Structure 1
Amino acid sequence: MDMVQLNNGVQMPQLGFGVFQMTDLAECEQAVVDAIASGYRLIDTAAAYHNEAAVGRAIKRSGVAREELFITSKLWVSDASYERAKKGIDQSLQNLGVDYLDLYLLHQPFGDVIGAWRALEEAYKAGKIRAIGVSNFYADQLKNLILSTDVKPVINQIEVNPWYQEHSEVAFAQAEEIQVEAWAPFAEGKHNIFTDDRIAAIGSRYGKSNGQVILRWLLQRGIVVIPKSVHQNRMAENINVFDFELTTAEMATMNDLDKGESQFFDHRDPAAIEQIFGTSLAALKENK
């Protein structure tokens, strides 16, 4: 497994396993057990996924030593304030059944971001968290956080896939020595991504699937990636991407696939923000 070094010196696997939308907790637990058995050591969850406890049970069942695993969770918007974030961190630790987290992220750039970040900084300095970062922040939001706080984020976890390549956002983060991590690398199969002829033509040269080509393309951009699956054969396929390398021309072909639009929603659309995060922000306001 290739590793990346975060800006605080912590080493992180470049390819991991995500559990977003795994709402069947028994299925989630077994999937994480199978993923660890398949060689994954980075496991990415979040409070908002409501499956931290299932992930924690899987970690215990895996038989792999805690220090060999890299466990990530995230703070949801409804806890995005200083006091709420302190409780949220402790709740994630309790849910997962661990003494520390390897990485903890602000899940969204909404709420009292600076206050919540201060709580993350304190937990980081206390040793509860080995590294802290953010998710779904745009470059200006990231720069504001950097300029307003003491500990620089190690990661920005954002949507990156062939249809939404985010070259400017990736370049900004990398220039700031902030690691980019891609969620939804397969765009949840949209626009026939798993059968697209242009990607398949590249894969045929190496005996690789479209999914493997996509993961290889992201890895070669220096991006950490967290594909998910509940199927062991797909888990094995997704991790088997370190034995080939795309050429410069093949990377350019992949870059030409960019549609330049999110495959999910625009994080800067006020209507989308209200629809998706309005209830959580109202809860945060009530619980202050």
Structure 2
Amino acid sequence: MKIKSKLLSNNISIPSIGFGTYKSGNEKETAIVVKEALNLGYKMIDTASFYKNEVGIGNGIKESKINREDIFLVTKLWNDDHGYENTIEAFNKSINNLKVDYIDLYLVHWPNKLNAETWRAFEYLYENKKVKSIGVCNFKIEHLEELKKTAKIMPMVNQIEIHPFSTKNDIVNYCEYNNIQVVAWGPIARGRVFTNDLMIELSNKYKKSIPQIVLRWHIQRNIIPIPKSSNKDRIKENIDIFDFEISSEDMKRINSLNEGDNISVSTPPVNTIY
């Protein structure tokens, strides 16, 4: 399966869909599912230190026999590790766990009062070629505007929760205007889309599964989705979305499911509110 790519603001190529690994299981289970995803054609693997699965991810990459340079590896800095020195230390721990020499995209997992100091460490890692790209997660417009005041290099990516029930139009438009690529976590709303009448109708119309419809909706919005699954057939199905197009009318119908930007299918950890 050939996955299309996009260019970030620093001209680094990023796959247009990725493989999410939150709650991927134990070390052995994680290695198996990552190896499976890579061998089925995924190029981007998304993890985080908070997921406690970086060792399994590293093992899965090694067992896949796929060249490291052909994999776009993403991990994230957790809330307890903010600040310049702490960030460097956390990064080194992540690459040791993953058994790699560099990270393709390193993200700040949640905004924090130490954003400026943390981001200075991210810039250091980027300038010293420890990471190929840097970005953030769950940043609202006000967080990005605040970061602008001190950043030498703006984030190349903002990873946020996006699905048909929370389209996040304002932040998506802001990021597009500022050349920040949006990546969507929770793209199928943790399965909520399966019981939606419109999704069922469109699945029948396009002869595609409901997740394929939703993931294609993200792609046509210029958003990179990172679906997660442990089922081999579903993993394969989720990247089979480049042979059809949703009409503009049906795109608008999906957009109309939006219930507001504050709708979430996941509760953030208690120490992430800033």
Deviation at 1:22, TM superposition (A): 1.8
Q: CA contact under 8 A between 1:23 and 1:50: conserved in structure 2?
A: no
Aligned equivalents of 1:265 and 1:222: distance in 2? 23
Deviation at 1:266, TM superposition (A): 7.4
Q: CA contact under 8 A between 1:139 and 1:172: conserved in structure 2?
A: yes
In structure 2, relative to structure 1, the CA distance for the partners of 1:265 and 1:63 (3 Å cut) is closer
Deviation at 1:277, TM superposition (A): 4.0
Deviates more, 1:138-147 or 1:152-161: 138-147
Deviation at 1:276, TM superposition (A): 4.1
State the SS of the aligned residue for 1:205.
Answer: helix
Q: Which residue of 2 aligns with 1:262?
A: 263
Cα deviation digits, residues 92-129 of structure 1 (max 9, x gap)? 11110001000000000014111111111101111100
Aligned equivalents of 2:243 and 2:30: distance in 1? 28
Q: Which residue of 2 aligns with 1:90?
A: 92
Q: Does 1:234 align with 2:237?
A: no
Within 5 Å, give how 1:136-215 maps onto structure 2: 136-190=138-192, 193-215=193-215
Q: CA contact under 8 A between 1:23 and 1:49: conserved in structure 2?
A: no
Cα deviation digits, residues 12-68 of structure 1 (max 9, x gap)? 001010101224222111110110011000000000000011000000000100000
Deviation at 1:201, TM superposition (A): 1.3
Number of positions where the alignment pairs a residue of Structure 1 with one of Structure 2: 271
- In the alignment, structure 1 segments of 5+ residues that lack a partner are 268-272, 282-288
Q: Which amino acid aligns with 1:122?
A: Y
Aligned equivalents of 1:115 and 1:231: distance in 2? 40
Q: Which amino acid aligns with 1:168?
A: D
Aligned equivalents of 1:277 and 1:205: distance in 2? 41
Cα deviation digits, residues 221-257 of structure 1 (max 9, x gap)? 0001100000100001101000000111010010011
Within 5 Å, give how 1:1-288 maps onto structure 2: 1-190=3-192, 193-260=193-260, 261-264=262-265, 275-277=270-272
CA RMSD of aligned residues (A): 1.5
- Percent identity over the alignment is 37
Q: Which amino acid aligns with 2:229?
A: S
Cα deviation digits, residues 173-227 of structure 1 (max 9, x gap)? 110000000000011113xx11322112112122101110000000000001100
Q: CA contact under 8 A between 2:22 and 2:51: conserved in structure 1?
A: yes
State the SS of the aligned residue for 2:146.
Answer: helix
Aligned equivalents of 2:48 and 2:176: distance in 1? 24
State the SS of the aligned residue for 2:127.
Answer: helix
Aligned equivalents of 1:197 and 1:262: distance in 2? 19
Q: CA contact under 8 A between 2:18 and 2:225: conserved in structure 1?
A: yes
Aligned equivalents of 1:210 and 1:259: distance in 2? 19
- In the alignment, structure 2 segments of 5+ residues that lack a partner are none
